[in-house]
Amino acid sequence: MAAGTFRDLTVYRKAFSLAMEIFKISKKFPAEEKYSLTDQIRRSSRSVCSTIGEAYRKRKYKAHFVSKSSDADMENTETRVWLDFALACDYISKDVWNDFEEKAEEIGKLLNHMIENPEKYFRKT
């Protein structure tokens, strides 16, 4: 598992894809949401990806790896909260919400695997 880069991780690829989907759909959010919901959902969804990258670079140190992986999971959960607001405000449909929720849930499970099994991601020395 340790060979390659963070971009080779399934969780990174899935998180990046979801962040891009969120970016595209958030372009349709109302202008008055620019500095609140739009910025927040884009920031948190992108932060999942960047924090996965950081965790991968810290994989030599178990506590740092687990901490960064946990941070990525936290950002994924924050993204899900913003998606709830987008649904409640009728900015996205229930079908879109369901699709994004399913993807975020899978990302969360993959991050949880990283948290519970850090040794599988350690560098080979």
What tens digit of pLDDT does each residue of 10-59 get?
999 999 999 999 999 999 999 999 989 999 999 999 999 999 999 999 99
Element (H, E) at 80: helix 62-88
pLDDT at 125: 60
pTM summary value = 0.93
Nearest-Å Rg of the Cα atoms of the chain is 15
Q: Evaluate whether 6 touches 12 at the Cβ level (below 8 Å).
A: yes
Q: Evaluate whether 83 touches 104 at the Cβ level (below 8 Å).
A: yes
Average pLDDT value over all residues in the chain: 95
Collapsing DSSP states into helix, strand and coil, what is residue 110? helix
The residue ranking higher by pLDDT, 125 or 62, is 62
What tens digit of pLDDT does each residue of 81-117 get?
999 999 999 999 999 999 999 999 999 999 999 999 9
Q: Give residue 79's pLDDT band: very low, low, confident or very high (50, 70, 90).
A: very high
Collapsing DSSP states into helix, strand and coil, what is residue 61? coil
pLDDT at 99: 98
Calculate the dihedral angle through the C-alpha atoms of 55, 57, 58, 61, rounding to the nearest 10 degrees. 130
